[in-house]
Copies of this chain bind each other. A is one copy, B any other.
Amino acid sequence: MAKDKKLVEAITSMDVDFAQWYTDVVKKAELIDYSSVKGCMVIKPAGYAIWENIQNELDRRFKETGVENVYMPIFIPESLLQKEKDHVEGFAPEVAWVTHGGLNPLQERMCVRPTSETLFCDFYANDIQSYRDLPKCYNQWCSVVRWEKETRPFLRSREFLWQEGHTAHATAEDAEERTIQMLNLYADFCEEVLAMPVIRGRKTEKEKFAGAESTYTIEALMHDGKALQSGTSHNFGDGFAKAFDIQYTDRDNKLQYVHQTSWGVSTRMIGGIIMVHGDDSGLVLPPRIAPVQVMVIPIQQHKDGVLEKAEELKSALKAAGIRVKLDDSEKSPGWKFSEQEMRGIPIRVELGPKDIEAGKCILVRRDTREKLECGLDEVSKKAAELLETIQKDMYARAKAHLESHITDVKSYAAFKDAVEHKPGFIRAMWCGSEECENKIKEDTTATSRCMPMKEEEPVSDVCVCCGKPAHKLVYWGKAY
């Protein structure tokens, strides 16, 4: 059957212009729309439903580790933002300032939260008194604002949706343990649910979060070979506790500072899903996160019995716990196929009069376009199995892509060559000096993405930049 061309023609091929392809997909798959508010997006139903699924699954996993949800104010008074020196330096240049409430100027201006460490600290300073109050493991789902100059839907926008966890612990060990626990939770979620393999690592001093002692990160590789920082987890030590005077009485009745962490992921993850799995026909959604997993598309639906049978299939699939829709609109089947492909729905079920006569239908995989015949009475079972297979295969392909896009380099010449000609991560040794890190960034635009947490064989024993002895293995790359 010939496809209607209109939807498909409108997409730029990813090999021709990856950035334009991305923009085309987010628009044509109806994930977002631009708004009259510069740098802010409208998240449309198809985009928001992905976020809801991310939220539900993460929230469940958070709560299993003892996290409780709360809600902090949207505003931060300027004096509160300024309490931790590194933190304010990192964020003050990119916040939105509220100066008037109603018709009157404010006595003190407030920013719209870019992140809420200062609010949580202010709260904890009053709320925590004794070791019995610890740990506190709080999280909030909200939007934050950062006044970015260049914006791209999901990847970098002036407002985005996220969750931010903020915990307080009695000891440094407890804080470090929670920091790592949440990073692993994020990584497992990405791999198991989003079919998106990630490198788990620690940020260098230069790249860590403003005010943190250490920052851990998960870094995913996009189809074009650029890295996407997809989630971070910070250990603050007692730095914020000292700035905000958050102390508790320990079992020996002595005052101690708490140790804190924070960790977050955002709607940026949706950008990752698009750029890891998408193709020239549009979005390809991993079944576990897809708002609609199966689209039933009737052929010659005006003919007797076709729509009835299609409804039956839909009901059977729904009863099996599959998220299913039936497209019984007046569009042509080819048009519906294109739409289902653009929207990344993992399976479509094609069903026409001849199929019904033969007691079968066709399942078409979105990821491989493979077609499978299937008896009408076994659609639920086959579709459920196929969803599992697609999920597994999508992860395996993304994993193979990641692994085949890691280049080990020992010399600076090889480093520069790799940045130029080998899209992906570069593994190279680093002496630990910020000078080398800066030079590499200036010379190549590649940045240190992370030092892997998993022990890895060193590539060499000298810094790829300065040639001095080096023990730190770093993943480098261009990044979003």
Contact B102 A95 (CB under 8 A): yes
Can you tell how many copies of this chain the complex includes?
2
For A145, the closest partner residue in chain B by CB is: B74
Bound together, the chains give a CA A35 to CA B73 distance in angstroms of 8
Return chain B residues, CB-CB under 8 Å to A192.
none
Bound together, the chains give a CA A258 to CA B37 distance in angstroms of 23
A456 to chain B, nearest CB (A): 39
Report if A88 contacts B (CB, 8 A): no
Question: Of the 9-residue stretches A118-126, A195-203, A335-343, which lies at the interface with chain B?
Answer: A118-126
Contact B69 A49 (CB under 8 A): yes
Residue from the list B70, B93, B100, B103 in contact with A44, Cβ < 8 A:
B70
Write out, one digit per residue, whether chain A residues 34-49 have a CB within 8 A of any chain B CB (1) or not (0).
Answer: 0111001111110011
Return chain B residues, CB-CB under 8 Å to A103.
93
Question: Which residues in chain A, 30-76, are within 8 Å of chain B measured between CB atoms?
Answer: 33, 35-37, 40-45, 48-49, 51-52, 68-76
Question: Which residues in chain A, 62-107, are within 8 Å of chain B measured between CB atoms?
Answer: 68-77, 80, 93-103
Contact B101 A99 (CB under 8 A): no
Report if A127 contacts B (CB, 8 A): yes
Return chain B residues, CB-CB under 8 Å to A70.
42-45, 48
Report if A159 contacts B (CB, 8 A): yes
Residue from the list B75, B95, B96, B158 in contact with A40, Cβ < 8 A:
B75
Contact B97 A42 (CB under 8 A): no
Residue from the list B33, B80, B94, B159 in contact with A102, Cβ < 8 A:
B94
Contact B35 A122 (CB under 8 A): yes
Return chain B residues, CB-CB under 8 Å to A96.
75, 98, 100-102
Bound together, the chains give a CA A99 to CA B161 distance in angstroms of 22
Contact A36 B99 (CB under 8 A): no
Write out, one digit per residue, whether chain A residues 132-170 have a CB within 8 A of any chain B CB (1) or not (0).
Answer: 000000100011010100000000001101000000000
A111 to chain B, nearest CB (A): 9
Knowing A42-B71, A49-B69, A159-B73, say if A35 contacts B119 (CB, 8 Å): yes
Residue from the list B48, B49, B69, B143 in contact with A74, Cβ < 8 A:
B143
For A74, the closest partner residue in chain B by CB is: B159
Report if A112 contacts B (CB, 8 A): yes
Contact A126 B71 (CB under 8 A): no
* Most chain B beta-carbon neighbours within 10 Å: one of A73, A77, A126: A73
Report if A220 contacts B (CB, 8 A): no
Contact A98 B97 (CB under 8 A): yes
A204 to chain B, nearest CB (A): 25
Report if A194 contacts B (CB, 8 A): no
Bound together, the chains give a CA A240 to CA B72 distance in angstroms of 33
Return chain B residues, CB-CB under 8 Å to A99.
97-100
Contact B71 A161 (CB under 8 A): yes
Bound together, the chains give a CA A145 to CA B69 distance in angstroms of 21
* Most chain B beta-carbon neighbours within 10 Å: one of A35, A49, A71, A159: A71
Contact B112 A74 (CB under 8 A): yes
Nearest 4 Cβ contacts at the A-B interface: A40-B73, A45-B68, A43-B71, A101-B147
The 21 listed contacts between A and B (C-beta, < 8 Å) are A33-B126, A35-B72, A35-B119, A35-B123, A37-B110, A40-B73, A42-B70, A44-B70, A45-B68, A49-B69, A51-B71, A52-B69, A71-B143, A71-B161, A73-B159, A75-B96, A93-B102, A94-B102, A97-B100, A97-B101, A112-B112
